[in-house]
Amino acid sequence: EAQVTQNPRYLITVTGKKLTVTCSQNMNHEYMSWYRQDPGLGLRQIYYSMNVEVTDKGDVPEGYKVSRKEKRNFPLILESPSPNQTSLYFCASSLGLAVTDTQYFGPGTRLTVL
């Protein structure tokens, strides 16, 4: 089954404790992206990746890092989380950026930073 998986689904942590949210897709997609979803602000793009070893900043990259060492994985790294990073995070992937390329979303990761 074609899917995007994220782990963990729920995470409560404390300020400054490094964490990683994993994202994996099984569709051999080149394009992957991370979004955060906050009330009243909709979905905002954090980082995206066009292919292995190719990443770029989205709208709200501050405080986040990503890596794309393999095509299927695109982890989101918070080196020193802060309470303003409490949010709902979505990973997504698509074959490319063509109009006909459907984007698939992961189930979301609820992060709380105390």
Partner 1 sequence: AQTVTQSQPEMSVQEAETVTLSCTYDTSENNYYLFWYKQPPSRQMILVIRQEAYKQQNATENRFSVNFQKAAKSFSLKISDSQLGDTAMYFCAFMSRMNRDDKIIFGKGTRLHILP
Write out the residues near partner 1 by the rule CB under 8 A: 31, 33, 35, 37, 39, 41-45, 48, 58-59, 88, 90, 92, 94, 97, 99-100, 102-103, 105, 107-108, 110
What distances in angstroms separate CA 22 from CA 41, 92, 106, one per listed residue?
24, 12, 11
Residue closer to partner 1 (CB basis): 59 or 79: 59
- φ/ψ (deg, to 5) at 95: -60, -45
CA 23-72-41 angle, to 5 degrees, is 40
Omega before residue 75 within 30° of 0, cis:
no
- In whole angstroms, how close is the CB of 77 to partner 1 at the nearest point? 20
Residue closer to partner 1 (CB basis): 2 or 79: 2
- The answer to whether the CB of 111 falls within 8 A of the CB of 43 is no
Residue closer to partner 1 (CB basis): 42 or 69: 42
- In whole angstroms, how close is the CB of 114 to partner 1 at the nearest point? 15
